[in-house]
Amino acid sequence: MQELRERIKRELEELGRQDRYRTLPHVTARRGKYIELEGKPLVNLSSNDYLGLGDERALLAGYLEQCIERGYAMTSSSSRLLTGNHPLYGELEEALAALYGRESAMVFNSGYHANIGILPALCGRHDLVLSDRLNHASIIDGMKIAEGSSQRFRHRDYDHLEELLDAAAGRYRQIFILSESVFSMDGDLADLLRLVELKKRYDALLIVDEAHGAGVFGERGLGLCETAGVVPDIDIIVGTFGKSFASTGAYAVMDNIFREYLTNTMRPFIFTTALPPAVLGWSLLTLEIQSSMSRERQQLLQLAAKLRDALIAEGFDVPGESHIVPVITGSNEKAVSLAARLRDAGFLCLPVRPPTVPPNSARIRLSLRSILEWEDISALPGLFTGGMAS
Ligand code: PMP
């Protein structure tokens, strides 16, 4: 034990030396555009509540009253396969399937659960997984748990994916292709049309994670798959409730046969306590409300384009084409010092460092929301310029 303690201490010290040491921020309040850290209000540029639904206080108050009237509990007291399967699960899954126009949907406790559960359930040791190199940690963890072989294709490099598919053809029982739609740390977009074309040509199963696309893209907020017109072609579309939908949990839409199989085999679905009814009812409500928020979606994407253009005009490396606007600093130290400078100026934007992003690509990740206006963020390009120079 003593040896373990000493090793852990050394590793923590090393993280500190590399500017990779993490601490939990002390959030004292969250209110609309602002977040209060240690009592100081800051413009919140680090939230995934992209449509601002999490701050609709009147909506929440009305919903909480309903919870009391209808007796929605804060616990389900059991897993879904035992006694936790509240009727709201059925309603929510039916609403999702209807919205996407797909045979069925499943609700999970989180996007993390979805991503570490779906693939390992479907993919056996004779199968191969091909995954975009910048896919989220939860997708990577799912690949680690799955018994199949796995390879990563270069980020959004579909020629590379095609090469890997060619090389693998006939050698595996089933090939799985995994991609995010809107990449969480780069804000850039997968070419879903190309992915669908490849998956069809090679008879692969395509899983797309819309965690950052749902609520932001598509007329009804179904994500980039809706914008690209490929909702029926993606075998499994994963989305989370914890971001645009301002709730907790996650979902996936799919054909009935997969739902039936996952219900019987997906460990993070089977062996966990179900979500509380109060959360399920709120997800049902926000899912419906967001489906008609296309004006907010447009405003958000226009705001992001304006900020991205202004930062690029100042000479910054700002990849992507969505509401996630990353400003690459390269060094961890620069990202940390810029974040501190922005915080002094009244903005909360957190530095993102390896291992969340590849080495030497530390960044400030600005995540915009439809409730922000240009006046709220117009000072940012100037602040970045001053910070990079110093
Ligand atoms: N997928 C992606 C792409 C994500 O960014 C996240 C959360 N950051 C998740 C899945 C996990 O979702 P959840 O927070 O619901 O566990």
- CATH number of the domain that 357 lies in? 3.90.1150.10
Atom of ligand 1 nearest to the CA of 241: 15
Together in a domain, 172 and 115: yes
**Would you say residue 9 lies in a domain?**
no
Among 290, 315, 338, the domain-final residue is 290
Q: Which of 275, 290, 305 is the last residue of a domain?
A: 290
The angle that helices 137-145 and 111-122 make with each other, rounded to 10 degrees, is 30
Q: Is residue 12, in this structure, part of any structural domain at all?
A: no
Count of domains for the chain? 2
pLDDT for 247-292, tens place per residue?
A: 999 999 999 999 999 999 999 999 999 999 999 999 999 999 999 9
Q: Is 180 in the pocket of ligand 1 (CB under 6 A)?
A: yes
pLDDT in tens, 29-75: 888 999 998 888 999 999 999 999 999 999 999 999 999 999 999 99
Ligand 1 center to 307 CA (angstroms): 25
SS3 at position 132: strand
Residue 182 and residue 36 share a domain: no
The mean of the pLDDT values for the chain is: 96
364 shares its domain with 307: yes
> Do the domain assignments include residue 125?
yes
**CA 97 / ligand 1 centre spacing (Å):** 21
- Residue 355 DSSP class: T
Tell whether ligand 1 has an atom less than 6 A from the beta carbon of residue 209.
Answer: yes
233 and 123: one domain?
Answer: yes
Residue 371 lies in a domain: yes
The preferred substitution site among 50, 112, 140 for testing ligand 1, maximizing ligand atoms within 8 Å of CB, is 112
Query: Which of 238, 256, 290 lies at the terminal end of a domain, its last residue?
Result: 290
Whether the bond between 268 and the residue before it is cis, its omega within 30 degrees of 0, is no
Does residue 267 fall inside a structural domain?
yes
Retrieve residue 108's tokens. Answer: 């999970």
Measured from the CB, is residue 297 less than 6 Å from ligand 1? no
138 CB near ligand 1 (under 6 Å): yes
Do 36 and 157 share a domain, yes or no? no
114 C-alpha to ligand 1 centroid (Å): 9
The H or E element spanning position 328 is: strand 324-330
Regarding whether 260 and 233 lie in a shared domain, the answer is yes
Domain that holds residue 119: 73-290
In a domain? residue 64:
no
- Determine how many CB atoms are found less than 10 A away from the CB of residue 283: 26
Q: Say yes or no: 210 and 334 in one domain.
A: no
236 lines ligand 1 (CB under 6 A): no
Structure confidence at residue 28 as a pLDDT band (50, 70, 90): confident
Q: State which ligand 1 atom lies nearest to the alpha carbon of 110.
A: 15
Q: Identify the pLDDT of residue 389.
A: 63
Residues 29 and 124 in one domain: no
Ligand 1 centroid distance, CA of 250 (Å): 9
